[in-house]
Structure 1
């Protein structure tokens, strides 16, 4: 019997290209500040050619979370689609190098491996333009029944939810997890995604999801209010557990039964780049829940992971999150 997994992520397999930019650059290329828009291959080439020198690293929201889980000493897996090309091989190598299970068959024919162009302004806001390429083509055939059955939590990325064939993969994975008595989690990813998929999410979440993750803007869009009491009331009706991150104000965890749990943020050594903050928070929270932690402790682990990731350029940890968590008495 192959070893169990704490969390398996299902998401976009993307290579991130990160560079510094100013507001004028964003305006010149019609990039919405702090958001994410999808672009085609030609647009990706134009923006990439104009970007400042930067760094390339394997990314994708759910994959970033799984990388953080590995850094915390957890056992993670990932399901995502890359092409049989150089960027796809880089992505696969990066996950295998940190001990993550990633065995999804590459795409033989079709678009290239996806990439996300992340322009980071001096206020640490990240503005993303994404060419999905092969990443959006995750299908039900890519879901390994035995692998999902071994995971305590299966974690889905909201960005990928927008792709109809991938949504069918989510539904298949959720059915397997439910049959095995395991949990399914979904991160909403972006307020614009929530707006576009509003009606479908209102049906999908109560049918399939046990743990919902959102930032304040995504929660406001899904629940139609910026009042946290209203959000909590509506969240309880939609999902057994909802986590809402509130930037420097920390986060709140809303169980269906019980009081709202407030979790403090952990102040970073320096604020450099908010790319991946939500991904890191999700990693800590989900690892804690997979290990049976109380809500307060799981949320604190999420805050700690987010603090490390926003203290440097890029969405994956540079320090051992396990070591930091052990120093903080969380692991």
Structure 2
């Protein structure tokens, strides 16, 4: 195979995150489930946005957050996502360009999606997402052959919410596998796994996923097993590489019967857990793409996650040097 043009291509929802700090009383008053990610209708999103008051707008989406972090680590990247021809869509496209990430799809005449994030005083997040234009990512809108032009294709479970993005993602996974490229998939959320359990199991048992990312709750939902170790064993029989995050207990990976563990690496008090999984995936994928080996890659993910939870929101500040932080931590175990 010829050398790929990209190190990593991601397919994901193109969203703008709208963040604010509120106490748990506000969450209850709005009829929301604390700490849960759930989809909401566009009209409900407008009302909730108004009730949240003064907010910060930051480009987001799970895989897009990972790509923004990967851009700090010097990789060649492309992101396939759908935005609308509105202010938020232009904000998202400009953000991709500023990060040096190729963003091939033109906007459509549908509002750009947004995720309303309410951060509790203890750092937990209540996320409410109106997908918008991302619901209409058609398989025919981009050249699926781009999936063969990347060493790793990464996609998120949120793409399974509607038929068109699901079909686009599956087609890309099939193309990548047919060309001998590695594929990575994140389960995204427990809610997502409950909604699409059989589809996700079919992906694994169909051999389309090389690298599976999950947290403890998502793994339990997918495997249907209460015990953590039983769930890990179940997943390891279905994916060549299984990576599971455990919050303050760090993360584990199982590949070829070998198990690797890494501790959590916080960079200060927990301010906001938004984006922790996204940054963890970015660190791991960067290490794998750079050929650093699984133990080092796993630790890179832990370092990146530890940095983002010390900040507000899922993105690093513009002047943050994530590569330097990772190298410094790796030199000092």
Tell me which residue corresponds to 1:238.
Answer: 238
Deviations 1:4-54 (A, max 9, x none): 222111010000000001111111112211111111121111111111422
Tell me which residue corresponds to 1:17.
Answer: 18
> After TM superposition, what 4+ stretches of structure 1 lie above 4 angstroms from structure 2?
none
Distance apart, 1:233 and its partner CA: 1.4
Q: TM-score if structure 1 supplies the norm length?
A: 0.95
Query: Any unmatched runs of 5+ in structure 2?
Result: none
Q: How does 1:24-63 map to 2 (within 5 A)?
A: 24-63=25-64
Tell me which residue corresponds to 2:225.
Answer: 225
Contact 1:284/1:303 (8 A) holds in 2: yes
Distance apart, 1:271 and its partner CA: 1.1
Distance apart, 1:261 and its partner CA: 0.9
Q: How does 1:41-190 map to 2 (within 5 A)?
A: 41-107=42-108, 109=109, 111-190=110-189
Distance apart, 1:182 and its partner CA: 0.5
Distance apart, 1:269 and its partner CA: 1.7
Distance apart, 1:3 and its partner CA: 7.1
Tell me which residue corresponds to 1:284.
Answer: 283
Q: Quick one: distance in 1 between partners of 2:11 and 2:167?
A: 12
Q: Quick one: distance in 2 between partners of 1:2 and 1:131?
A: 38
3-state secondary structure, aligned to 2:258: coil
Distance apart, 1:270 and its partner CA: 2.3
Distance apart, 1:137 and its partner CA: 1.2
Tell me which residue corresponds to 1:8.
Answer: 9
3-state secondary structure, aligned to 1:116: strand
Contact 1:143/1:172 (8 A) holds in 2: no
Q: Quick one: distance in 2 between partners of 1:227 and 1:294?
A: 28
Aligned length in residues:
327
Q: TM-score if structure 2 supplies the norm length?
A: 0.94
3-state secondary structure, aligned to 1:156: strand
Tell me which residue corresponds to 2:197.
Answer: 198
Tell me which residue corresponds to 1:259.
Answer: 258
Q: Quick one: distance in 1 between partners of 2:161 and 2:46?
A: 23
3-state secondary structure, aligned to 1:260: strand
Distance apart, 1:195 and its partner CA: 0.9
Contact 1:250/1:265 (8 A) holds in 2: yes
Provide the alpha-carbon RMSD of the alignment: 1.6
Deviations 1:286-320 (A, max 9, x none): 11112222111110010111111111101012221
Q: Quick one: distance in 1 between partners of 2:286 and 2:142?
A: 21
3-state secondary structure, aligned to 2:183: strand
Contact 1:79/1:142 (8 A) holds in 2: no
Q: Quick one: distance in 1 between partners of 2:142 and 2:220?
A: 32
